[in-house]
Structures are given as C-alpha cells and as structure tokens.
Amino acid sequence: MTDHVYKQVELTGSSPASIEDAIQQAVSRASKTVRNMRWLEVTGIRAHIEEANVSHYQVSMKIGFTLDD
C-alpha cells in the first residue's frame, strides 16, 4: 500500500437511526461511483430536530480511496 496515490472526497450521510448508520449510508452511496475506498474520517456530526426529538443524524466525512494506475 506504500506507493499509492489517494484521493479524498467529502460526503454527508443521513440516518434517523444512529451516527454509525449515517456513516454507512454515505459509504453505500459513494460505492456506486467510487472504487477502492479504504478509509474515512468524520469531520462533523449534526442532527435535525423535530418537535423536541432528533429526527435524523447528519455525519460529514472525508472518504479516501486509491487512484487506479
């Protein structure tokens, strides 16, 4: 893995269930167009509130993937 070049993209995933599910939603959506994803780093956690309850989490993240040669 030592001589690769990586690219990072910044996405935000949403989920009413949990922070972890919001992360997975973004990864799943990204997999439609990006190959070779390796890791992600959370850059922000937000949530929307409706009638005094968290209605869904919004987790922003940078996803790194290997650029094919």
Q: Which residues bind a second copy (CB under 8 A)?
A: 2-16, 18-20, 23-31, 37-42, 44-49, 52-57, 60, 62-64, 67
DSSP for the chain, written as a single string? -TT--EEEEEEEEEESS-HHHHHHHHHHHHTTT---EEEEEEEEEEEEEETTEEEEEEEEEEEEEEPP-
Q: What's the min distance (Å) between Cβ of 1 and a second copy?
A: 8
Q: What's the min distance (Å) between Cβ of 24 and a second copy?
A: 6
Q: What's the min distance (Å) between Cβ of 53 and a second copy?
A: 7
